[in-house]
Amino acid sequence: MESLFVVVSIGLVVLILIMLYRVFKGPTVYDRLNGLIVIAADVTILLVLIGYINDRADMFIDIAITYAILGFITFVVLAKYIEIRGSNYD
């Protein structure tokens, strides 16, 4: 079961790298924001998987929940900023 967690973790790291490309080279601000949301979700899942791999799930789940809350707050703030400033960032 641990090898499955390692394979899924490697897949998540690859997905994070792909989304980093989307964040830096995204054609619109909405693509960049979408990339940031996916990265935040993937890092949250990755933290939980690392916790299960190291048999310290209790500690890593607390960190993952905190990171997910921070990611959500960041998304809401950025979305509100884009709404106020308009969508002329395309």
Q: Is residue 90 part of a domain?
A: no
How many domains, the chain?
A: 1
Mean of the per-residue pLDDT values of the chain: 89
Return the pLDDT at 87.
63
Name the pTM for this structure. Answer: 0.83
Domain housing 9: 2-85
By CB atoms closer than 10 A (0-12, 13-18, 19+), residue 17 is: exposed
Return the pLDDT at 5.
87
The tens digit of pLDDT for each residue in 35-74 reads: 999 999 999 999 999 999 898 888 999 999 999 999 999 9
Q: Is residue 61 part of a domain?
A: yes
